[in-house]
Amino acid sequence: MEDFRAVKPYTKRKVKEPSNDKFARIQDIIEAEEAAHKTPKRRRVAPRADPAPLVEEAQEMIVHGLDRLREAEEM
């Protein structure tokens, strides 16, 4: 079985061009190519909060709004 990283396409990286030069240097191109072949850094994902309190609060707001509508219709 092949290693999936070996067949995974790499992402392109932009070559950093010096502001005073018209063309990128060879070293900049080599560094960009090496960076493109490295695996990307993983981002840390913050744990999600429990949605139950938000759902309960939304349900209470809906019930309160429906009660107000019924009261307005009775008037």
> What was the pLDDT predicted at 31?
83
Model pTM greater than 0.85?
no
Element of type H or E holding 2: none
* Mean pLDDT (the chain, rounded): 77
Structure tokens at 52: 């139950």
Q: How far apart are CA 31 and CA 36, in angstroms?
A: 9
Q: Is the dihedral of CA 47, 51, 53, 54 positive or negative?
A: positive
Helix (H, G, I), strand (E, B), or coil: what is residue 12?
A: coil
List the chain domain ranges.
4-39+50-74
Residue-level pLDDT at 66: 93
What is the reported pLDDT for 24? 73
Residue 39, number of CB atoms within 10 A of its CB: 9
Residue 1 binned pLDDT confidence (cut-offs 50, 70, 90): very low
